[in-house]
Amino acid sequence: MATLCRPAVSVPEFVITMEQTLDLARSVHADHPQLGLALRLIENTGVQKRHILQPIEETLRHPGFEARNALYEAEAKARVPAVIYRALDDAGLRTADIDLIIYVSCTGFMMPSMTAWMINTMDFSSDTRQLPIAQLGCAAGGAAINRAHDFCTAYPDANALIVCCEFCSLCYQPTDLGVGNLLSNGLFGDGLAAAVVRGQGGTGMALERNGSYLVPDTEDWIAYRVRATGFHFMLDKRVPTTMEPLAPALRSLAAQHGWDASELDFYIIHAGGPRILDDLSRILGVPSEAFRFSRATLAEYGNIASAVVLDALRRLFDEGSPVDSARGLLAGFGPGITAEISVGRWVLRGTCRAPAIPHSRSGAIGRRP
């Protein structure tokens, strides 16, 4: 059975606190007629700090879409390998053991995808399958887990690698003055995550069932407008209400599996904001504490888009992990409005790390003998 192993997570070194965010909003948008509303919305996000690629002075400048995308590519190539090596080590595998790479990002564009660069640079096999996902936004972390599950179900001896690389700060648009955009400027952070789904073996969440659900006629609630200056994030004021139509989809998938979504042992939920988590807690009838991993990600890193679910899962591992056979639910939400949902049991198969392997000069690790 396919098992989602411990994720590795990395965030950039530059930090901006909530207090700094509010001060910047007051100074940059001092004459905005709805500044008071924007400040209240930002304060209510639950974000205490975020990590960003560049110092704030550089982040606030817009050198053009071409320069930003070049920076995205350079930083992705510099930072992705480290999280991959840690995720492989935690799963007890090497690059040669990976049969599928799923690369997820909605904050930069490359063609060929980063998957091609990784295969050429990091000693993955040339016949490794590639699956880039670019347009599911925050839901893409859950989608990547589900597609890895599907792949390992079709090929039970195979292994899939998931990589999420989100540099949301590169989407900052100084000319967008809508309240929704001002809110997003205080909500999103930068982060990378990687995790392995093993077809056989491994400790973590054994994936048993997955599903997708799209709320009809909500495709304009979360969107990008692609303009000469890059990606312009559009956020409708109705987004915080999305748990009302989405929570039944979570209940339905759990019920198809013979489970009650209100009576599970752990929950890994994409934290788009505290309202999402509060409403889901109320609708499912579970204590707020059930979403503590998602709340911690939001507080310490902000909304890191597709990487949120992997970071929340990492926190579950780090807390001490559930007992063997504990039942859980994982869900990511994003544009569409789309939900990607998984249910499964925790499995403890002991530690199975790969033996230490020396890195080559290029940073690649060796194949299995």
**Residues 202, 349 contacting (CB under 8 angstroms):** yes
- Evaluate whether residue 296 is within a structural domain: yes
pLDDT at 359: 36
> Are 216 and 137 contained in the same domain?
no
**Residues 64, 229 contacting (CB under 8 angstroms):** yes
> Are 62 and 194 contained in the same domain?
yes
Q: What CATH number is given to the structural domain containing 130?
A: 3.40.47.10
Please name the residues in contact with 227: beta carbons below 8 A apart, sequence gap of 6 or more.
Answer: none
Q: What is the rounded radius of gyration, in angstroms, for the C-alpha atoms of the chain?
A: 20
Amino acid at 362: S
**Residues 202, 228 contacting (CB under 8 angstroms):** no
- Evaluate whether residue 223 is within a structural domain: yes
**Residues 186, 235 contacting (CB under 8 angstroms):** no
Amino acid at 255: A
> Are 113 and 235 contained in the same domain?
no
Q: Which residue has the tokens 């990976």?
A: 98
> Are 53 and 88 contained in the same domain?
yes
pLDDT at 43: 85
> Are 187 and 267 contained in the same domain?
no
Q: What are the residues facing 202 on neighbouring strands?
A: none
- Point out the domain boundary residue: 177, 198, 219: 198
* Percent of the chain predicted with pLDDT > 90: 68
Please name the residues in contact with 243: beta carbons below 8 A apart, sequence gap of 6 or more.
Answer: 276, 279, 280, 283
**Residues 91, 197 contacting (CB under 8 angstroms):** no
Q: Which residue has the tokens 């194949």?
A: 367
> Are 152 and 14 contained in the same domain?
yes
- Evaluate whether residue 210 is within a structural domain: yes
**Residues 158, 151 contacting (CB under 8 angstroms):** yes
> Are 250 and 181 contained in the same domain?
no
> Are 136 and 74 contained in the same domain?
yes
Residue whose C-alpha is closest to residue 49's, from 25, 10, 14, 79: 14
Amino acid at 303: N
pLDDT at 350: 52
> Are 188 and 234 contained in the same domain?
no
Three-state SS at 194: strand
pLDDT at 354: 40
Q: What are the residues facing 125 on neighbouring strands?
A: none
| C-alpha of 181 from chain center | 20
Among the residues of the chain, which ranges form H helices? 18-28, 35-43, 56-59, 65-91, 114-121, 140-154, 179-185, 243-256, 274-284, 292-301, 308-319
The domain in which residue 178 lies consists of: 3-198
> Are 186 and 211 contained in the same domain?
no
The secondary structure of 272-290 as a DSSP string is S-HHHHHHHHHHHT--GGG
Q: Which residue has the tokens 């590639």?
A: 130
Query: In which residue ranges of the chain is pLDDT below 70?
Result: 350-369
CA distance 228 to 230: 6
Residues acting as catalytic residues: 138
Residue whose C-alpha is closest to residue 261's, from 270, 271, 250: 250
